[in-house]
Structure 1
């Protein structure tokens, strides 16, 4: 057999590895390493990307200042390295090309008993190029009003189902829900859920980090409220943007 044939017989396939994504903003010093990442779908909207990145940079600056002050006060706390912070902005859904929902996920390691995480959301009006609330989708959304009261009841019902799936329900569950109130700023971080109907949203999803509605060991929770539950309270704009059902892929992510 010719030498070239022998080499071909024993040649191994070359495996290529994708490079780690490059942060869109980052700081690294002896006290902290902090990064912000925007996914490609967020970057596709220049105004949304600029808004998210501006917020992310302020978040980095705040944590850098705190880490530097902590290291100055007690250098021994940093003998094994600095704090680690990471924030990611991920697009969750786009409704009618107009309303864009983002999930903002934070990771923080300050050398405590364990790292911590947080989750928040952004609802972006791509036409007005600004952040908005879910208020325009309802005839009223006042604190303790009928809409928010019905919404909270549906959120708790969804959370109870999720806890049952995880065998996590216990007598202390009601205590964890005391932090939730029928108010836009107290009910939880909300996004428009994707739908089986193009250009529509199947309802609202509420995102809770560890410790928000259960012990740390239970992790994050997502509560889903179908639009039909809130149909009596929808404004004309709400009636326009809601429809269809929640896709199975959103209920059971791969």
Structure 2
């Protein structure tokens, strides 16, 4: 409020954006855990149900772990209960059918610092189910040509990002040793947006802190342009890829 000439004048201030209401939650003396779906996910009933079912299982497991830990060592909770939050958000939609979802987790168990994790979901909105990237490549065998080419491109992208952050390449070989030319060991993948409508410009691989660098470096995203993967694409892969990665996406991810 501002007082002018003996009168009280109320100046309107913009309202602060409220945190989104959780779509599933539990709160007790041991734990507070929430799951949040973004509006684009909620627009697809089948996808929303799938994410919410997974999220509720995650909440139940963490709540049970917290309760067990409190019984075993109540001192762990002297500063309060543990906190968990999982957010599901749409990263891209390709051909109106293939939806890339980011699943971001926040975890605070009263350790030295909170931790975060990131994983991904590829969703076929037509068949209403989760899929992998296998249908878009002629082969994805462990240590096969596709996966070797993909991993080489991932490491090259990570090295570029490390130089941007002045992280250098100190001990990068040690950090990258867990990355393997297999679908399960190369990283959590999404389809990158494109300047061409309805297309994907390539693949982005998402890594939480500690995965490919020290905690202080935070998360990393490696981008592999579709042209690098062109020799290995199936007809469906060739159909959905095209264009280039928007500059705004590179800056945000």
State TM-score, norm by structure 2. Answer: 0.95
**Structure 2 contact 195–246 (Cα < 8 Å) conserved:** yes
Total equivalences in the alignment: 250
- Aligned 1:56-95 pairs, distance under 5 A: 56-95=55-94
Instruction: Please name the residue that 1:161 is paired with.
Output: 160
Instruction: Please name the residue that 2:202 is paired with.
Output: 203
- The 2-side partners of 1:40 and 1:22 are apart by 12
Instruction: Please name the residue that 1:232 is paired with.
Output: 231
**Structure 2 contact 159–169 (Cα < 8 Å) conserved:** no
By how many angstroms is 1:207 displaced? 0.1
Gaps of 5+ in 2: none
By how many angstroms is 1:56 displaced? 0.2
Instruction: Please name the residue that 1:215 is paired with.
Output: 214
After superposition, the CA RMSD in angstroms is: 1.6
Instruction: Please name the residue that 2:133 is paired with.
Output: 134
Q: 1:101 to 1:7 in 2, by over 3 A?
A: farther
Give the ranges of 4+ consecutive aligned residues of structure 1 lying more than 4 Å apart after TM superposition: 5-9
Q: 1:141 to 1:30 in 2, by over 3 A?
A: same
- Aligned 1:163-182 pairs, distance under 5 A: 163-182=162-181
Gaps of 5+ in 1: none
By how many angstroms is 1:10 displaced? 3.8
Aligned partner of residue 252 in structure 2, secondary structure: coil
Aligned partner of residue 65 in structure 1, secondary structure: helix
**Structure 2 contact 33–85 (Cα < 8 Å) conserved:** yes
- The 2-side partners of 1:77 and 1:178 are apart by 34
- The 2-side partners of 1:79 and 1:252 are apart by 40
By how many angstroms is 1:76 displaced? 1.4
**Which of 165-174 and 214-223 deviates more?**
165-174
